[in-house]
A = this chain, B = another copy of it.
């Protein structure tokens, strides 16, 4: 007998029929002799509907009251799923975040979980009852309702799995696992049987929207076995999904590169002819941060003749704002020669823990791109990732080129 935490997202519970399907899937795990805790999101569209109501009243809704209003979305789903399970003869009981008690800090709309009381859930599980918990929500010490921010239901699932020392936390979504890259771009993309937490974090932050980053961090920290599965597969024909593992668990035969991630939403800015003196990077990037613009890659090359160039990338939506800021204010302040920018770029990355022990991955990557005639505009590396910025028009070509160069097209060993 295992203790399984399952999390179902909004599309999996979008209507009564799908909720019945989820109940059947939960029932299958329960009848197989497992203890099951289920975390659910709001029915798809519901959270947006509630936020729109709030914004029709306050342009910037009061955070406490927004949480009161928005947290009802998950509360509706837990009641409905409990009914669906009872309808098919499975004992079930729903819990709001406050009923569990998932204690959080009081940072409304982006609260952090402080502790989870497992007593009531344990009693239900021992009494052959499926426990259904509203994702995305908790209460602060004073009993105020809080929410964990968008995608917070994944975090709830992982946190419950950690608190209950569950054997596995299963995240059900509309894809059947994590892929070597987006199958819409590379039809040969394969589902990975396993991926490490670190790789998953890099993939997630690069636009593979399977899991919320925070939940992956959380799972890594508390060593929760996390598995991504599809809620759309027919019962009896389910695949194994993708297991997210600690690095030491990884199969020795694992390829060096696990996947090719990419992001289209990029723009690049360069400050030319910056005086090469201490504090200059801070003057530029501090001004950008003060304007609430997130900066991703930052590159500064060695200078010549007392001046240098600093380039960085931002989300494409912030490009115009960042460009104006640099031209109108920063340029004069620091005495830069000129500001140039490009919002027709994209970022492509090779991710894999194997590159730690395999030098030469970067040069292999650059060779593949060069053979396909793709010019690299920026390079950035981390321990398990190499990212390049290229012209947007080369995105698909670059992804396919790298997917092939690192042997990801071939079936896993």
Which A residues are within 8 Å of any B CB, using their own CB? 16, 19-20, 50, 53-54, 56-58, 61-62, 64-72, 75-76, 78-80, 82-84, 86-87, 93-94, 96, 98-99, 143-145
Tell whether, in the assembled complex, residue A76 and residue B98 are in contact, meaning their CB atoms are under 8 Å apart: no
In the assembled complex, the Cα of A262 lies from the Cα of B145 at a distance in Å of 46
Tell whether, in the assembled complex, residue A65 and residue B82 are in contact, meaning their CB atoms are under 8 Å apart: yes
Using CB atoms, name the residue of chain B closest to A99: B143
Using CB atoms, name the residue of chain B closest to A132: B65
**Copies of this chain, tallied across the complex:** 2
Using CB atoms, name the residue of chain B closest to A50: B76
Tell whether, in the assembled complex, residue B83 and residue A61 are in contact, meaning their CB atoms are under 8 Å apart: yes
Tell whether, in the assembled complex, residue B68 and residue A87 are in contact, meaning their CB atoms are under 8 Å apart: no
Tell whether, in the assembled complex, residue A86 and residue B69 are in contact, meaning their CB atoms are under 8 Å apart: no
In the assembled complex, the Cα of A94 lies from the Cα of B64 at a distance in Å of 9
Tell whether, in the assembled complex, residue A65 and residue B94 are in contact, meaning their CB atoms are under 8 Å apart: yes
Tell whether, in the assembled complex, residue B94 and residue A56 are in contact, meaning their CB atoms are under 8 Å apart: no
Partner of A53, one of B16, B82, B94: B16
Using CB atoms, name the residue of chain B closest to A86: B62
Report A87 CB to chain B, min CB distance, Å: 5
Tell whether, in the assembled complex, residue B86 and residue A65 are in contact, meaning their CB atoms are under 8 Å apart: yes
Q: Which residues of B contact A20 (CB under 8 A)?
A: 57
Tell whether, in the assembled complex, residue A65 and residue B53 are in contact, meaning their CB atoms are under 8 Å apart: no
In the assembled complex, the Cα of A80 lies from the Cα of B79 at a distance in Å of 22
Tell whether, in the assembled complex, residue B54 and residue A79 are in contact, meaning their CB atoms are under 8 Å apart: yes
Tell whether, in the assembled complex, residue A80 and residue B94 are in contact, meaning their CB atoms are under 8 Å apart: no
Q: A58-B87, A143-B99 are in contact. Are A69 and B79 (CB under 8 A)?
A: yes
Q: Which residues of B contact A54 (CB under 8 A)?
A: 79-80, 83
Report A155 CB to chain B, min CB distance, Å: 21
Q: Which residues of B contact A70 (CB under 8 A)?
A: 79
Given A54-B83, A98-B98, 17 additional A-B pairs, CB 8 A: A16-B56, A50-B76, A54-B79, A57-B87, A58-B86, A62-B86, A64-B82, A65-B79, A65-B80, A65-B86, A66-B79, A68-B75, A68-B79, A68-B96, A69-B80, A72-B75, A75-B75
Using CB atoms, name the residue of chain B closest to A52: B16
Tell whether, in the assembled complex, residue A84 and residue B72 are in contact, meaning their CB atoms are under 8 Å apart: no
- Can you spell out 11 A-B residue pairs with CB atoms less than 8 angstroms apart? A16-B56, A16-B57, A57-B87, A61-B83, A65-B79, A65-B86, A68-B79, A68-B94, A68-B96, A72-B75, A75-B75
